[in-house]
């Protein structure tokens, strides 16, 4: 998701720039001013309450605005993102927005503030009065709107500055020129955003092969806990020796150890578009742990791909690999393979259910040639990631 706020005093061009932006990015537009005017036109109880205040140039109460906005957010929780125009306008609204976005598993990306001198703002609004005839576009009410802005809305700037989200841009010049500045900011935000993909699937479903191909092609960091453990074994480290004995007894590796390795790896490699996690998380507990780790880095799990291959096919693939030089210590006997399959079947369902409920799960058919599966995975991932931002 891409969530943007257009910030600025009355007449700064929030509405104008929003229209241009919506043409480029398919975002859900939320203009509290428009929503309120719609209620006024329909003479709803909220509209009646709002009209009296709007006509005086005063802000309407936070409770009323939030009431009207909340349903718009929850009804569109699958949107590509939201563009907020004229919201939040008070510190309370800024906190509320944070909470509402969290509720639908997303967060704000940037606040673009249009900087325009007061004389120019007044000129624009008085000019608009002739064109649109808005009841609040007259000299006295405009002054009151500026006062409300200075007193109640201006403090919101510090809130977003402290979160490193506040980007002021010059709001003077032609509409196209200003839009170029807006586009520049958004392109930068999109480039900086990271995506994190979790690949799940039965042992032998091809997660490793496919994850590596995708990561290389799209500049992700491929992070496989299986391979991290294997490299410890090969190094002959203390961890490695410990893990080797666990493997040969078919006992799973404790969470503490895995977490330590994942955290270390994430600290080492963070210059890329995001991580492709393979083989982690594989339980609900590990899922919560990974979410916490990513949250601390100001990011999150963007998407979970379930690479679906029936058990029998996986079994055949693993038994075949066990005969080659690529054999893994945990593939060497049928019992070990069965043990891993059982572990997957019992632990993964809650993980699948969890991500399904968050609308983050996509299924990819893992049967087919290596190239065919890579192609399908590529298409689905690229499309889903585009939807996220």
Please give the residue ranges that form the binding site for ligand AP5 (CB under 6 A): 8, 10-16, 32-33, 36, 53-54, 57-60, 65, 86-87, 89, 93, 124, 127-128, 136, 145, 174-175, 178
Least distance from C-beta 207 to Mg ion, angstroms?
48
Q: What are phi and psi of 149, to 5 degrees?
A: -60, -50
Give the separation between CA 59 and CA 15, rounded to whole angstroms. 17
User: Two tokens at 36?
Assistant: 């309120």
Q: Are strands 361-365 and 303-308 parallel, antiparallel or unpaired?
A: parallel
Q: Which is nearer to ligand AP5, 78 or 120 (CB)?
A: 120
Q: Specify the residue for token string 């500026």.
A: 146
Q: Which is nearer to Mg ion, 30 or 108 (CB)?
A: 30
Task: Pick what 107 binds: ligand AP5, Mg ion, none; C-beta below 5 to 8 Å, kind-dependent.
Answer: none
Task: Pick what 32 binds: ligand AP5, Mg ion, none; C-beta below 5 to 8 Å, kind-dependent.
Answer: ligand AP5
DSSP symbols for 192-240: H----EEEE--TTSSHHHHHHHHHHHHTPEEEEHHHHHHHHHHHT-HHH
Give the separation between CA 314 and CA 322, rounded to whole angstroms. 12
Least distance from C-beta 124 to Mg ion, angstroms?
11
Cβ atoms of 364 and 307 within 8 Å: the answer is yes
- Of residues 11-50, those binding Mg ion (CB under 5 A): 15
Q: Which is nearer to Mg ion, 5 or 364 (CB)?
A: 5
Least distance from C-beta 11 to Mg ion, angstroms?
8
Task: Pick what 60 binds: Mg ion, ligand AP5, none; C-beta below 5 to 8 Å, kind-dependent.
Answer: ligand AP5
Partnered with residue 31 across adjacent β-strands are: 85
Least distance from C-beta 89 to ligand AP5, angstroms?
4
Greatest alpha-carbon pair distance for the chain in Å reads: 85
State the DSSP code for 42.
Answer: T
Task: Pick what 124 binds: ligand AP5, Mg ion, none; C-beta below 5 to 8 Å, kind-dependent.
Answer: ligand AP5
Binding site for Mg ion (CB under 5 A): 15
């Amino acid at each position: 998701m891409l969530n943007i706020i257009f910030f600025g005093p009355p007449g700064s061009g929030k509405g104008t720039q929003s229209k241009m932006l919506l043409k480029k990015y398919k975002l859900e537009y939320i203009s509290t001013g428009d929503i309120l005017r719609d209620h006024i036109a329909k003479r709803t109880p909220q509209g009646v309450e709002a009209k009296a205040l709007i006509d005086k140039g005063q802000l309407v109460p936070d409770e009323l605005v939030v009431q009207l906005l909340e349903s718009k957010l929850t009804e569109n929780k699958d949107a590509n993102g939201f563009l907020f125009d004229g919201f939040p306008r008070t510190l309370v609204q800024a906190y509320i927005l944070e909470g509402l976005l969290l509720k639908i598993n997303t967060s704000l990306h940037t606040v673009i503030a249009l900087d325009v001198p007061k004389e120019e703002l007044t000129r624009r609004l008085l000019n608009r009065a002739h064109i649109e005839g808005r009841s609040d576009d007259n000299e006295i009410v405009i002054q009151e709107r500026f006062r409300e802005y200075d007193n109640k809305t201006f403090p919101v700037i510090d809130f977003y500055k402290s979160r490193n989200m506040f980007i002021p841009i010059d709001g003077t010049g032609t509409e196209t020129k200003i839009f170029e500045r807006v586009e520049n900011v958004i392109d930068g935000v999109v480039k900086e955003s990271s995506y994190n993909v979790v690949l799940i699937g039965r042992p032998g479903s091809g997660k490793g092969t496919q994850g590596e191909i995708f990561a290389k092609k799209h500049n992700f960091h491929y992070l496989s806990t299986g391979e991290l453990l294997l490299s410890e074994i090969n190094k002959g480290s203390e961890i490695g020796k410990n893990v080797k004995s666990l493997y040969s007894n078919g006992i799973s590796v404790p969470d503490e150890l895995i977490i330590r390795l994942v955290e270390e790896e994430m600290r080492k490699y963070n210059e890329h578009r995001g991580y492709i996690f393979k083989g982690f998380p594989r339980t609900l507990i590990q899922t919560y742990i990974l979410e916490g780790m990513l949250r601390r880095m100001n990011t999150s799990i963007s998407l979970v791909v379930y690479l679906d291959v029936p058990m029998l096919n996986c079994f055949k693939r693993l038994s075949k690999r066990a005969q080659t030089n690529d054999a893994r210590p945990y593939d060497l006997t049928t019992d070990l393979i069965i043990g891993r399959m059982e572990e997957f079947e019992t632990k993964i369902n809650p993980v699948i259910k969890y991500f399904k409920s968050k609308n983050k799960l996509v299924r990819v058919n893992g049967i087919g040639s290596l190239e065919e599966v890579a192609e399908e995975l590529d298409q689905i991932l690229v499309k889903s990631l585009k939807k996220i931002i």
